[in-house]
Structure 1
């Protein structure tokens, strides 16, 4: 795996990939005598294996040959709507393909906890692993702890472009939200963001700002949140005190829920005074007061595509370009929390 080193000595599959100028997946295909590898490429990989005295992990080789019928999943924040829905999609797709699912959840987000959970999972007979993290640091810690040669797919975050990664098109979702509000005549859009360390949250921030800049509008200061309704409530109290706030894009629906509560308590009417758009389309979104306009990213589809991508890797049919996995495009669900700008 280019860019990620699982120990300095003995040599690991990433060392072989770098020396031979191919991907980890190609090295794995050569080791496991898979088809669809050019003879010249095969010789180059075998030469690199000899030069580095690389000894493939025997357990991982057996796993790549699909002697197991269980997919391992490493997940954090699985109580949140997005990760929980992704796990649901993974479970359904795995069962349809004849695989069981084993889930490992680290005790915390520190490297030691992630490494322990990953090592414990890999000690079971799993055919491959899906890593459901949206922090690059967490995904890297997990991947570093996997045995060499064990097929792996990341969701949202990966350490580099050599690991197949299934993503929601976060930028497209944020663009939809902001353009919807600008199209209603609002002069600008405020943003309540997710946690700074989360890649999906930062992608939404960047797309929010870029969409405003393309429209020739100034971007207000970001109001930070942490995905919770409580942080959305605090953001709502802050925004209710500001002059000229007529449109807010909240980075998830739970923060939008707290935002609606705070605005209501301060006598700010939604959508007459302020329009609000969320992100996720949680099951309760249509039953809030007012029903919430939001971006639906289809997390279950992310889970399904993750399994599909992993199965291709396990079969030796994965693409060398791991960044070539199509992104899941979200949709905008229009409800009653948005309206034309006042005045």
Structure 2
């Protein structure tokens, strides 16, 4: 067996006490000689530290005998779930300590649109499962996203959230977004967590793969398999996936890759997630949402254009920002 780096096996030697000398029959009487027995050796039990100073590994089914051999031993430095945790961006969580002063809507602002967004998320049977909100800097996109995240968390509908930040190297790129989303989803269901961990164990290089491969391996396939096994009920599973500040992900190609991956891996599959993405109206999201042949999100997504001059408190009940003009039946229902 190959020993883990930096680990040594301490040796223990068992020493027996010297035997008492056997007395001569000439020195003892007949009765004494008849009853004399050799003094048995004294056994000493030594406690040894097999792997002194070792950490971050497990030893399964270990047996050490007096010949100092180790049999049938498995040493695992880190399981799949632990490796996943090493590849997440904890600063991107909606309740991360790094975002303790995150902006959110005041009670009297964005009231109408906040309600519409929450209603859209809670409507699991709605025809479109992606909503994109674009707006200039200062329009209140991140404040809305934070408010929605907190409300979804309180109602147990928040599956995961990821807040990009151009100033934070752990969350201004795509390297951690899929592991971070997968981790949050796995925390909602033990069977899903195990399936995600096994996916990492089966492919330890998964974090170096392209984004679509990561999403298929760490989210789509584990979720589908656990649902098929009956260990997860998709109709009650927290299903909101929130992504804020797509424009703060460096590189327009990376932004486009994330949008196309969301479509091919989440929207095109029979998954229950409802995804809410906010961004400045940069090239990647404008092109994807455009009513042109290359606008691959034009049909499957709702699009809200949030102006920095938008007055949420003056929103009219005659028009839905998500669905367009309201029908009389909708208003009366």
Which range, TM-score by smaller chain?
Answer: under 0.3
Rg larger for:
2
**TM-score, reference length from structure 2:** 0.25
**TM-score, reference length from structure 1:** 0.25
Q: Tell me which protein shows more helix as a share of its residues.
A: 1
